[in-house]
Structure 1
Amino acid sequence: MDWFFKFPHMDDDNLRNLKKAIDEGFRGFTRTYGDIIEGFFYPLQQFLIYAERFMLKTPWPIITLIILAIAFAATRNLRIVAGCLVTLLLIGYFDMWDDTMRTISMIFVCTVMSIAIGLPIGILMSRSNRAQKIVNPILDVMQTMPSFVYLIPVVMLLGIGKVPGLIAVVIYAIPPMIRLTNLGIRLVDRDVLEAADAFGADGSQKLFKVQLPLALPTIMAGINQTIMMALAMVVIASMIGVQGLGQPVLKAIANQYFTLGIFNGLAIVGIAIIFDRVSQAYGQRLQKHREIVHG
């Protein structure tokens, strides 16, 4: 009756041999193709270096004005702009400016990568039910996998540094971008599509001139969620060499520095609120514009 109380499992030796074979196979793959994969991601590394260099080398008043200008152009809301200004001034006053700029450059590059990869996949899913059935389980795994697990294969392939951290963050943050792009395009009113057909629009014209513009508020919600998830991953990615606000938080955890952890944690929260409010306000403006057009 032992089988009734203890779940039957693979023999320990067989299980050990299976794990050993998988581990050795992956190590052999990294030894053979690691340099090729690293070379493939070299342009991404340069993009990240240039973005970080721009944020760090540009004088802080100019960076502040750029961020405020973007916030106002997206929201047309002076209260949100004032909140962004106060947050940035507090971050600088408490000597967290450089780490904040590194984090913002990382989030910027991650967001650009997520849009560049996620938007075409979301469009493909919206146009093919078969593609949706294939991709959805992969997204389920990506969203439920513990974030620490992403670091293992990335570090084994590329080692420790900025690019491995960037890839881990993108993998963790991209699912909302793909899902909401797919959802936004599928929610476009069929009557509008029929009208486009009546005017002789082909598939690409319907996609770029009808479906994507109407789905833009939902796509913006996906970008918003991607940014929030990327920020949540920053502290974990600091374990493999990603510089920014995550490293002081990690240092505070290791050495029990309460104020260091709280201040840098609040800086991450401040950046998250800026990104969230600006992207949400822009999405709401797009939504109102769409309602006016169809009203």
Structure 2
Amino acid sequence: MNGIFLRLSFEEWVNTLFSGVVQRFGDLFQAFSRFILEWGLLPIETVLRGTPPAVFLAIVGVLAWVATRRLRTSAVLVLLLYLIGCFGLWDKLQQTVAILFVSTFLAICLGLPAGIAMSRSSLLRNSLAPVLDMMQTLPTFVYMIPVLMLFGLGKVPAVIATVIYALPPLVRLTDLGIRQVPPDMIEAGQSFGCSRLQLLFKVQLPLARPSIMAGINQAIMMALGMVVIASMIGARGLGEDVLAGINNLDIGKGLQAGLAIVILAIVVDRISQAFGRSRRERLQLVRLRGARTLPAVGEPA
């Protein structure tokens, strides 16, 4: 049966390639890893862990109210985060938030320019589409191998793997949002003498904001989906407890940490989705809710 197959393997070529890269540029990758750790992860984590829980909850409550304009929703989100502290997982929550923040920031820095470039060039869009497909469909553990070879164990490779996983939806939705800007709006901007940059920043990006914010929301959710996997390569946080629960068959510990991750996902999702709506949509929602509380015509006030 096996005699009909030709011998075809690229594993030795890939191993030789990455070994050469590590030998030649290993110091550069380690310097980049130290830079991300010392100027990104550690300062943010130190600030978050040093912030009193009451202050952190208050900040989240204000953000939720500004985004949703609903006091009840803001209170529920704050209570959900308070519940994580009641589980004894507050410190690990801050570690997870720091990794999530840095990963999302890097994904935005890479994804927005890539999406804008794709929207301006069909050739680039057709070239990047297979790469994005591969990034979305390739099993996470496969691209963790080269990341570990280049950066070793720790939080930085976890951040890089998370960025790779979270990047494609942001790039695609940014490209889609800009391409869906009505042509008449672009023509109106051009008729007023807008340059390409002015047209991008004053017309296309504002009109594409809902799609871009949806991409950021998806990037955040996918980054949260990497929390447990990232703990396997040295990232601490809530995923560490889930992994410990799996290794020790401690159902309660794993379930409790898993619930904390779900709560964090709900809080971040509700706030980021609300900020994704335009100001007009938010004002309309506020007016609609206010109209529902008013008495109908003929009813006593």
Instruction: Tell me the TM-score normalized by structure 2.
Output: 0.90
Retained in 1: the 8 A contact 2:186–2:203? Answer: yes
Retained in 2: the 8 A contact 1:235–1:250? Answer: yes
Structure 1 unaligned runs (5+)? none
Counterpart Cα distance in 1 of 2:229 and 2:69: 34
Structure 1 residues 241 and 79: CA distance shift in structure 2, 3 A = same
Counterpart Cα distance in 2 of 1:250 and 1:207: 45
Q: Which residue of the partner structure matches residue 111 of structure 1?
A: 104
Letter in 2 for 1:268: I
Structure 1 residues 268 and 56: CA distance shift in structure 2, 3 A = same
Structure 1 residues 205 and 277: CA distance shift in structure 2, 3 A = same
Letter in 2 for 1:29: V
Q: Does 1:170 align with 2:163?
A: yes
Alignment of 1:183-202 (within 5 A): 183-202=176-195
Retained in 2: the 8 A contact 1:119–1:177? Answer: yes
Retained in 2: the 8 A contact 1:80–1:278? Answer: no
Letter in 2 for 1:9: F
Retained in 2: the 8 A contact 1:216–1:286? Answer: no
Counterpart Cα distance in 1 of 2:177 and 2:41: 30
Q: Provide the aligned length of Structure 1 versus Structure 2.
A: 284
Q: Which residue of the partner structure matches residue 228 of structure 1?
A: 221
Retained in 1: the 8 A contact 2:68–2:282? Answer: no
Counterpart Cα distance in 2 of 1:179 and 1:77: 31
Deviation at 1:131, TM superposition (A): 0.9
Q: Which residue of the partner structure matches residue 262 of structure 1?
A: 255
Q: Does 1:126 align with 2:116?
A: no
Structure 1 residues 113 and 287: CA distance shift in structure 2, 3 A = farther
Deviation at 1:44, TM superposition (A): 1.8
Secondary structure at the counterpart of residue 240 of structure 1: coil
Q: Which residue of the partner structure matches residue 296 of structure 2?
A: none
Counterpart Cα distance in 1 of 2:223 and 2:121: 28
Q: Which residue of the partner structure matches residue 27 of structure 2?
A: 35
Retained in 1: the 8 A contact 2:140–2:165? Answer: yes
Retained in 2: the 8 A contact 1:74–1:278? Answer: yes
Q: Which residue of the partner structure matches residue 84 of structure 1?
A: 77
Deviation at 1:19, TM superposition (A): 2.5
Secondary structure at the counterpart of residue 236 of structure 2: coil
Retained in 1: the 8 A contact 2:33–2:151? Answer: no
Q: What CA deviation, in whole Å up to 9, does each residue of 1:27-61 have, x standing for no partner?
A: 23212211112213433222111111111111111
Counterpart Cα distance in 1 of 2:4 and 2:14: 22
Q: 2:86 aligns with which of 79, 85, 93?
A: 93
Identity %: 47
Deviation at 1:9, TM superposition (A): 2.6
Secondary structure at the counterpart of residue 76 of structure 2: helix
Counterpart Cα distance in 1 of 2:30 and 2:17: 19
- Alpha-carbon RMSD across the aligned residues, in angstroms, is 1.9
Q: 1:9 aligns with which of 2, 5, 12?
A: 5
Q: What CA deviation, in whole Å up to 9, does each residue of 1:62-83 have, x standing for no partner?
A: 1111111122222212222112
The list of structure 1 runs, each at least 4 consecutive aligned residues, that deviate by more than 3 angstroms after superposition, is none
Structure 1 residues 287 and 37: CA distance shift in structure 2, 3 A = farther
